[in-house]
């Protein structure tokens, strides 16, 4: 039997999806191991191998695909535990990284403090050299300066070096020579040069991205290299892929070179899974909500497509890499409840994570979390957590919640737990409004997709907050990102700055540059092992009105020579996109091209999911128990039926309130909602009419 496997390492749990040849989906979950994520990964694939009665070597040897979503780069950036990094740049520009082009997340906050630079000022070293805006050398590189800094870095114990000189995206000879010299002094260092990481205009974004790439690169290199080697030793014969922020996958070798492209590795895979679901269910408008142990990720799927941005910000650091537009907030099952100085109840963004975890895990955590609240409200089964594999302590959760929250607020423990539940729901609803309302989309016109191990407890209440009438809980909800990885194509992005005006562009030169960029993109894609017949090249342009500062990215015709007749269509697409984003357009104004982007896509065989016919069924046959659940609309605890999800067949309908339990997730159908099982095993919840 052949298998396809996706493994997603989250902050609290490591998720695994295995799809067999007949299209059946099998899910597995283990606690993450933050000190060494590979331990959690191996624990979960060993569990999968045992399920299929195979040794680890047999199981890995029968894999058709192994795709991994990792948080190593993300956590390295978030926790500030990256390599000791040095930066070499054009003399006189050492403060560019700290000045940040005056960028602030909130321009109205006069006290906002930017994050500390990843490279302190004393390790930002200028060398004599200069290339001008035309790509011409006006001051040769001083190799003596570079050698002096190489010796300085060696004395300082530098582990990684970023190189970012002025206008290197037009002429990269100086950056390449700097790398050669630095390697003489630091042969084992991780070296990133901006002309390879992000060859495009805008000095700060280019420098920030290159520095981040160098900062997280060594730790990611060690992790992926060791993991890939170990997997091969244990029987893996197929390519080992890593998910990227753009929603695609790439080989581990490519991920090491482009470390900053993995900063949204797991959440991006979930977005791809939502696109797959949009097509599968015939619902083009979805809002994906993914609630894990530490974070809550929200992605909008509009007309069956996600929104890709050409840059973003992670932990306050600017990353100019294509990434899916995902809004992430600190709201997960491990989010800690606390009282501020005014006595107001707050939840998050701090999280107990997997170590020590929520209080009820009995692993040392002594701060009440959302998971503890859900346990106290009856939403979680204390005897069936992770299918009964993991014991939880309800009494300890009650004791700590009384001490930290209920006592100081003068209320009973269930009321305090309900308050935690209500606050976290509001936090998540606000995050959903960022990708919908703030982007000009009415959430009432969208169905919610509930993913992640904890989300389906909260999904109905989040939907009520934003006005959505329908929630879809996928059959593999708690491991949705791992499922999305198996629907992702190989996807590599190439960018080159190209400045021209419409009208006035030199089409011969423009097409020459397009050809060169596409050749580079295709060559890199073929190195990933993609067959030539399975490749696609997609072109985009970053365009703006003359005199504007920010660009709009539009797709332009691919696979053809750009001619005069295409220019009118390019202008029309830009004006329409500008109107949609900013509510106005000025077609009489000339437009300016800033960057050419080529996305090389290698089609990956995608597993199909089997659909079964829906037939009427009495849900009473699937009731396994009843237990009291706390519902605010019912003003207290209500004895509620608990259904075994494995016994609910397509076509079954359930009226809320109800609990649907499976081994690795729990779904709460709240009192004002109904639920049914569709042909793919998804739970569809809708507001009662």
Rounded CA separation 509/516 (Å): 11
DSSP conformational letter for 195: H
Rounded CA separation 131/29 (Å): 53
Q: What is the C-alpha end-to-end distance of the chain, expressed in Å? A: 46
- Assigned token pair, 243: 């998910």
Rounded CA separation 349/275 (Å): 28
Average pLDDT, integer, range 439-447 = 87
Q: How far is CA 320 from the centre of its chain?
A: 15
| Percent of the chain surpassing pLDDT 90 | 49
**pLDDT, tens digit, for every residue of 531-541?**
877 899 999 99
Rounded CA separation 641/622 (Å): 10
**Is the pLDDT at 104 greater than 70, yes or no?**
no
Rounded CA separation 264/259 (Å): 11
Average pLDDT, integer, range 562-575 = 92
The pLDDT of residue 320 is 87
The pLDDT of residue 328 is 78
Rounded CA separation 337/358 (Å): 11
The pLDDT of residue 102 is 72
| Cβ pair 495, 511 in contact under 8 A | no
**Is the pLDDT at 295 greater than 90, yes or no?**
no
Domains assigned to the chain: 3-76+222-261 (3.30.420.40), 84-211 (no CATH), 265-332+424-485 (3.30.420.40), 335-423 (no CATH), 490-602 (3.30.1490), 628-687 (no CATH)
Which of 41-50, 150-159, 482-491 has the highest mean predicted lDDT (pLDDT)?
150-159
Average pLDDT, integer, range 143-149 = 96
The pLDDT of residue 211 is 96
The pLDDT of residue 1 is 62
The pLDDT of residue 607 is 64
**Is the pLDDT at 354 greater than 70, yes or no?**
no
**Is the pLDDT at 512 greater than 90, yes or no?**
yes
Q: In the predicted model, what is the mean pLDDT of the chain?
A: 88
The pLDDT of residue 78 is 74
Give the chain's length.
Answer: 689
Average pLDDT, integer, range 20-25 = 78
Q: Which residues pair with 250 in a beta bridge?
A: 242
The pLDDT of residue 583 is 85
Average pLDDT, integer, range 487-498 = 88
**Is the pLDDT at 457 greater than 70, yes or no?**
yes
DSSP string over 571-585: HHHHHHHHHHHHS--
**Is the pLDDT at 298 greater than 70, yes or no?**
yes
**Is the pLDDT at 564 greater than 70, yes or no?**
yes
**pLDDT, tens digit, for every residue of 117-129?**
999 999 999 999 9
**Is the pLDDT at 561 greater than 80, yes or no?**
yes
Q: Looking at 14-28, 158-172, 174-188, 389-403, which range is the least confident one? A: 14-28
Structure confidence at residue 497 as a pLDDT band (50, 70, 90): very high
**pLDDT, tens digit, for every residue of 257-291?**
888 888 887 778 888 888 887 888 888 899 999 88
Rounded CA separation 71/386 (Å): 22
Burial of 639 (0-12, 13-18, 19+ CB in 10 A): exposed
The pLDDT of residue 264 is 81
Q: How many CB atoms sit inside 10 A of residue 112's CB?
A: 11
What is the sign of the dihedral through the CA atoms of 481, 482, 483 and 487? positive
The beta strand positions in 546-652, using DSSP E, are 552-556, 591-602, 623-631, 636-644
- Assigned token pair, 561: 């020579």
Average pLDDT, integer, range 420-442 = 88
Average pLDDT, integer, range 457-472 = 93
Which of 183-192, 360-369, 447-456, 660-669 has the highest mean predicted lDDT (pLDDT)?
183-192
Q: Which residues pair with 339 in a beta bridge?
A: 345
| Cβ pair 169, 201 in contact under 8 A | yes
Q: Looking at 4-13, 242-251, 584-593, 659-668, which range is the least confident one? A: 4-13
Rounded CA separation 41/45 (Å): 6
**pLDDT, tens digit, for every residue of 367-408?**
999 999 999 999 988 887 777 777 888 999 999 999 999 999
**pLDDT, tens digit, for every residue of 7-22?**
988 767 788 888 887 7
**Is the pLDDT at 225 greater than 80, yes or no?**
yes
**Which has the closest alpha carbon to 640: 472, 474, 457?**
457
If DSSP codes are grouped into helix, strand and coil, which group holds residue 129? Answer: coil
The pLDDT of residue 93 is 94
247 contact partners, CB below 8 Å, separation of at least 6: 268, 269, 271, 272, 306, 308, 324, 488, 491
The maximal CA–CA distance of the chain, rounded, in angstroms, is: 82
DSSP string over 359-424: GGGTSS--S-BHHHHHHHTTSS-TT-GGGGTS---HHHHHHHHIIIIIHHHTS-HHHHHHHHHHHH
| Percent of the chain surpassing pLDDT 70 | 98
| Cβ pair 307, 331 in contact under 8 A | no
Rounded CA separation 687/464 (Å): 9
Average pLDDT, integer, range 148-169 = 96
The pLDDT of residue 147 is 97
Rounded CA separation 583/440 (Å): 10
- Assigned token pair, 661: 């339990």
Q: How many CB atoms sit inside 10 A of residue 386's CB?
A: 16
**Is the pLDDT at 69 greater than 90, yes or no?**
no
For residues 66-84, b (16+ Cβ closer than 10 Å) or e, as one string? Answer: bbbbbbbbbbbbbeeebbb
**pLDDT, tens digit, for every residue of 614-673?**
888 888 888 988 999 999 888 899 999 999 988 888 989 999 899 999 877 899 999 999
The pLDDT of residue 90 is 97
Rounded CA separation 493/540 (Å): 10
């Amino acid at each position: 039997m052949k298998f396809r496997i996706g493994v997603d390492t989250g902050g609290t749990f490591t998720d695994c999806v295995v799809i067999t040849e007949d299209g059946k989906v099998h899910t597995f979950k283990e606690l993450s191991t933050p000190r060494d994520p590979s331990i959690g990964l191996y624990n979960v694939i060993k569990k999968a191998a045992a399920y299929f009665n195979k040794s680890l070597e047999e199981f890995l040897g029968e894999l058709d695909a192994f795709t991994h979503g990792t948080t190593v780069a993300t956590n390295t950036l978030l926790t500030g535990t990256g390599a000791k990094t040095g930066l070499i740049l054009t003399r006189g520009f050492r403060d560019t990284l700290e000045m940040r082009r005056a960028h602030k997340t909130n321009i109205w906050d006069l006290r906002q403090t930017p994050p500390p630079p990843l490279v302190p000022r004393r390790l930002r070293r200028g060398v004599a050299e200069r290339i001008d805006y035309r790509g011409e050398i006006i001051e040769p590189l001083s190799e003596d300066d570079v050698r002096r800094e190489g010796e300085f870095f060696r004395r300082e114990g530098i582990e990684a070096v970023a190189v970012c000189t002025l206008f290197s995206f037009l002429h990269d000879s100086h950056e390449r020579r700097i790398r050669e010299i630095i390697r003489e002094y630091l042969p084992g260092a991780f070296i990133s040069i901006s002309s390879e990481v992000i060859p495009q205009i805008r000095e700060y974004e280019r420098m920030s991205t290159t520095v981040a790439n160098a900062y997280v690169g060594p730790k990611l290199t060690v992790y992926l290299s060791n993991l890939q080697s170990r997997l091969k030793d244990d029987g893996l014969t197929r390519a080992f892929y890593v998910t990227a922020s753009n929603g695609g996958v790439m080989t581990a070798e490519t991920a090491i070179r482009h470390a900053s492209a993995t900063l949204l590795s797991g959440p991006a895979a979930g977005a791809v899974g939502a696109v797959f679901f949009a097509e599968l269910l015939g619902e083009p408008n979805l809002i994906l909500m993914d609630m894990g142990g530490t974070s809550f990720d929200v992605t909008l799927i509009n007309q069956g497509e996600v929104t890709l941005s050409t840059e973003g910000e992670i932990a306050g650091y600017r990353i100019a890499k294509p990434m899916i537009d995902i809004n992430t907030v600190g709201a997960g099952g491990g989010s800690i409840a606390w009282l501020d100085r005014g006595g107001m109840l707050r939840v998050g963004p701090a999280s107990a994570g997997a170590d020590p975890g929520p209080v009820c895990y009995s692993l040392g955590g002594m701060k009440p979390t959302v998971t503890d609240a859900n346990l106290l409200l009856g939403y979680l089964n204390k005897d069936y957590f992770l299918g009964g594999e993991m014991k939880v302590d309800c009494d300890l959760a009650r004791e700590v919640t009384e001490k930290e929250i209920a006592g100081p607020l003068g209320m009973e423990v269930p009321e305090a737990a309900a308050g935690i539940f209500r606050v976290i729901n509001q936090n998540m609803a606000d995050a959903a409004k960022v990708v919908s309302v703030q982007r000009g989309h009415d959430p009432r016109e969208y169905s919610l997709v509930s993913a992640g191990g904890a989300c389906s407890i909260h999904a109905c209440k989040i939907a009520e907050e934003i006005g959505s009438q329908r929630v879809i809980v996928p059959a593999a909800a708690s491991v949705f990102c791992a499922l999305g990885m198996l629907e992702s194509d190989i996807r590599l992005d190439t960018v080159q700055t190209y400045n021209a005006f419409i009208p006035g562009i030199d089409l011969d030169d423009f097409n020459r540059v397009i050809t060169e960029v596409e050749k580079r993109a295709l060559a890199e894609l073929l190195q990933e092992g993609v067959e030539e017949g399975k490749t696609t090249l997609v072109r985009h342009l970053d365009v703006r009105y003359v005199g504007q500062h920010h660009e709009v990215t539009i797709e332009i015709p691919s696979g053809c020579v750009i001619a005069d007749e295409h220019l009118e269509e390019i202008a029309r697409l830009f004006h329409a996109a500008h109107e949609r984003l900013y509510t106005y357009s000025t077609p009489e104004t000339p437009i300016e091209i800033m960057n050419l982007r080529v996305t090389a896509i290698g089609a990956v065989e995608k597993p199909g999911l089997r659909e079964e016919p829906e037939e009427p069924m009495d849900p009473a046959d699937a009731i396994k128990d009843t237990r009291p659940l706390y519902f605010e609309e019912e003003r207290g605890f209500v004895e509620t039926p608990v259904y075994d999800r494995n016994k609910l067949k397509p076509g079954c309908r359930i009226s809320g309130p109800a609990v649907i339990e499976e081994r690795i997730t729990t779904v709460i159908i709240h009192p004002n909602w109904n639920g049914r099982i569709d042909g793919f095993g998804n739970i569809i919840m809708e507001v009662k009419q």
